[in-house]
A and B are shown apart, each in its own frame.
Chain A
Amino acid sequence: MNVPCSSRLLAIAAALPMIFTVLPASAHHSAAPFDMTKQLTVQGTVEKWQWANPHSWLYVRVEKPDGTQEVWGFEGGSTGMMARSGWNSADMKAGDKVTVSAAPERSGSHIGLLNQVKLADGRVLKSGFGAPPPGAGGAPPGAGAPPPGAPTNNPPPR
């Protein structure tokens, strides 16, 4: 997997023991392209925060140790589900410094399934694909649930 290796890359593809939780499914392509057993964390600068359906996307420019840059795309949930998880379209804008945690795309492209974002002011946005409702057996909205389908590495569609 072509992941930038620098101080900006805080953790790469660390296998995560996932606890079972009931997670919301949502539409369109499934989470099959992502390796839900792994998590990567990158630091970079927001290029665009696209609040959209079926998926929101966060584009982040990451500087590599050799000075070159690359653009990463992180896929979030639908706007309604993200709003229920405490996210907002105004949370990020171009130029903001962020630290992003995500499940990496399997083939090594610069794509991830959004888990959480730490903003420059220290605020942390969690459950980037949408949190389950209270009482669903998972974490409450905003508490940071693992990616969909984590226990079996067979995530539901989102």
Chain B
Amino acid sequence: MTHCKPLLAFVLCSALLALPVAAAEPLGLTWADVTKLPDFFSGNWQSVTSFLDHPSDVPFTAQAQAHVASYKPIEDIPFAGPGCKTPGMPIIQRLGSPLKFFYQPGMIAIYIENSSMTRFVKLNAQHSARPNPSYLGESVGHFERDTLVIDSIAFADDVLFQYGDLPGKGTGPFVLPPEAIFGPHGPNLRMVERIRLVDADTLEDRLTIYDDTVWKQPYVSSPVQIFKRNRGDAGWPSEWVCNNADVLTFDPGQNKTIQEDPAEVLKRLQQKENH
């Protein structure tokens, strides 16, 4: 029995050391927890990276490969038509207008100024049994030390979904819609984000996409999305209501940009004002 003492002591010590960790509640359950979280909340965060992905070598499934082989480039962004329809996740977060984080116990909300949409991330929770599809998806999250991990599922069929880039395209700092390949996603599309502060005013969002109808392996999004913090007045969120009176719009049906003579648009606006 004597020779078992060191082993017993090791086991007991290990158990004691593990106790505080096992007993600790996950972050995000109380109001006080906000003081322990990384400061995602002051000011707002503006994307400074390409909103479309750089080329990837993640292999396509046969189904996706067939789509890519017959794909015709688009001239502009499909959601640029009347009504400013959102592209959904993940692109909606990357469109330049800032993100604003909010906290309450059990939830982090992310206001996306572009389109005035808000993501609601349920903390330390499970996905619903039967989530309904939406453009931002259903999101649950938890903290792993300083990193907020968000797992999102249940996306609408018509979110703008990028497969990759056309051969030889998308190598510039900003990838343009005509350089990219878009297509339908599968029913089990899942996005996992790992969000953390790189420094006090820089936030990164590393995204991995799981869709076995499109890729044979998980797709690691590139570039890592970088956001810079606006403080003061610039860090205050604004509303964003779509106005349809643009001189320039893109018609996805015709795959072309539609121009109107500014004089005609002005006349219409002034007539509207006078009525």
Interface residues of A (CB under 8 A from B): 20, 22-30, 32-33, 47-48, 50, 52-55, 57, 59, 70-73, 75, 78-81, 83-84, 105, 107, 109-111, 130, 132-137, 141, 148-149, 151-152, 154-158
Residues of A within 8 A of B201 (CB): 134-135
Minimal beta-carbon separation of B269 from chain A (angstroms): 6
Q: A78-B113, A79-B240 are in contact. List 14 more A-B contacts (CB 8 A).
A: A22-B173, A26-B96, A28-B79, A32-B75, A48-B266, A54-B114, A59-B269, A80-B97, A81-B97, A107-B259, A109-B261, A111-B262, A130-B96, A134-B230
* Residue B11, interface by CB 8 Å: no
**Interface CB pairs A-B, < 8 A, 16:** A24-B96, A26-B114, A27-B95, A32-B76, A52-B243, A53-B84, A71-B261, A71-B263, A73-B266, A78-B97, A78-B114, A111-B248, A135-B202, A156-B174, A157-B80, A157-B177
Minimal beta-carbon separation of A26 from chain B (angstroms): 4
From A27, A81, A107, residue with most partner B Cβ within 10 Å: A27
Asked if residues A73 and B95 are in contact (CB atoms below 8 Å), the reply is: no
* Residue B47, interface by CB 8 Å: yes
B-side interface mostly: loop
Please, how many angstroms separate the alpha-carbon atoms of A80 and B115 in the complex? 11
Question: Chain B contact residues (Cβ within 8 angstroms of A): what range?
Answer: 35 or more
Which B residue's beta carbon lies closest to that of A71? B263
Interface residues of B (CB under 8 A from A): 46-51, 75-77, 79-80, 84, 94-98, 113-115, 172-174, 176-178, 201-202, 228-231, 233-234, 237-243, 245-250, 257, 259, 261-263, 265-266, 269-270
Please, how many angstroms separate the alpha-carbon atoms of A136 and B173 in the complex? 14
Minimal beta-carbon separation of B98 from chain A (angstroms): 8
Minimal beta-carbon separation of B205 from chain A (angstroms): 14
